[in-house]
Structure 1
Amino acid sequence: MSTTENPETVSPAQPRRRLSREDRQRQLLDVAWQLIRAEGTDALTLGYLAEKAGVTKPVVYDHFTTRAGLLAALYRDFDKRQTTLMDAALANCAANLIDTATVIATEYVGCVLLQGNEIPGVIAALASSPELEKIKREYEAIFLEKCRNVLQPFAEGGVITQASLRAMLGAAEALSNAAAGEEISAEQARDELFATIIALVERTATRATSGT
């Protein structure tokens, strides 16, 4: 009898561990990101995700209900990762404009690049319905308020306006997406976003001191 045939040397099959709901959702989101990376956002359906994740369709439908729900969950996943990284970096940076602007620029661009080419497709898909666009706007508002709070102390009494913050966010998205698409380098994206943030605060301070 060969070694492989000896019942004493053969390990019994391990029972398949049942994932918790949280772990299952994490698995499904990870597979969804991989699917988008390989085939694009248009290929993402609940049925195809179930096939790729090796689960039944009802499992996926139970977590996301609709394709729109899945897209929203992917955006929330991205936003949570971005928020965690930025909050940690802001908590550990020096309390001055240069370091604060550096953190915002570095973490914003870095998080988009970490997610790769997938996130621009998800963001574009969010614009496909008012419901998804609303979710994106809600998370943007939280991010902009965070930026306002950390930049306001350097504005020398001026009030950082929503218009200025929106301009900054537009630059952040455009530069990050260009870097993700390798149109520009990550360093160029960070540098331009940093310059945009500095200019925003300095312009606010100038308006305050000049009384305009």
Structure 2
Amino acid sequence: DGLTLVTLAEEAGVSRPIAYDHFATRPGLLLALYRRLDERHRAAITRALQDAAPSAGEIARVISVAYFACATAMPELGAVSAALRGNPEVEALQRELADSYTDLMAAALLPYSRLAPSALRLGCVGMLGAAEAIAAELNRDRATDDEAVTALTDAILGLLNTTAGR
């Protein structure tokens, strides 16, 4: 609640009109911050995938670790998301970013899948839903980090072993 364009300008040492010209509104500032945090997370997972050993298990584990690292290492993402709740622009941005994340995940898993690309992508949508549910359990201290990573990794590997979408 303390983040306003006025406080941003003061902290950045710039005039108020500069902050207003750049972001226009507080929701505009928060949307830019939300996008920036997502870009930081996407860059981290991309690096981790590039460094991962080329195996289904390792790719699934890297995706799982990266997902939960975002939930624990970037608590400000949840705060920004909560501050924007109900904003129609953030809902559109969240759908755009979820689609992008799904595409990244499906591309990383495609070499290890027996599913058609469209079926794999849909399965990745399901995996992200599962990841959110597991993250909720993690945040409620009903699971450890290791248990969360193992559960999501196992779910992803189960998806990869499915032949139903072929």
Which residue of structure 2 lines up, in the alignment, with residue 25 of structure 1? none
Matches within 5 A, 1:146-161: 146-159=104-117, 160-161=119-120
> Partner letter of residue 111 of structure 1?
C
By how many angstroms is 1:182 displaced?
Answer: 4.8
5+ unaligned residues in a row in structure 2: which ranges? none
Confirm or deny that 1:122 pairs with 2:80. yes
Distance 1:72 1:50 in 2: 17
Q: 1:136 aligns with which of 86, 94, 117?
A: 94
Hey, what's the Cα distance between the residues in 2 that align with 1:103 and 1:46? 37
Q: Percent of pairs identical after alignment?
A: 35
Q: Structure 2 matches for 1:34-183, cutoff 5 A?
A: 42-53=1-12, 55-116=14-75, 118-159=76-117, 160-176=119-135, 178-179=137-138, 182=141
Are the counterparts in 1 of residues 113 and 120 from structure 2 also a CA contact under 8 Å? no
Please state how far the C-alpha of 1:138 moved relative to its aligned partner. 1.0
Q: Which has the larger radius of gyration?
A: 1
Measured at CA, do residues 175 and 58 of structure 1 come closer, stay the same or move farther in structure 2, by a change above 3 Å? farther
Deviates more, 1:168-177 or 1:90-99: 168-177
Offset of residue 81 of structure 1: 1.0
Question: What CA deviation, in whole Å up to 9, does each residue of 1:42-74 have, x standing for no partner?
Answer: 443223333455544323223311112111111
Write the letter of the residue equivalent to 1:166. Answer: V
Label 1:74 to 1:182 Cα distance change in 2 as closer, same or farther (>3 A): farther
Report the aligned-residue RMSD. Answer: 2.5
Report the TM-score, using the length of structure 1 for normalisation: 0.67
- Checking the alignment, whether the CA contact within 8 Å between 1:148 and 1:165 is kept in structure 2 is yes
Unpaired stretches in structure 1, ≥5 consecutive residues: 1-41
2:84 and 2:149 map into 1 onto residues whose CA distance is: 25
Counterpart Cα distance in 1 of 2:84 and 2:121: 22
Distance 1:132 1:179, change over 3 A: same
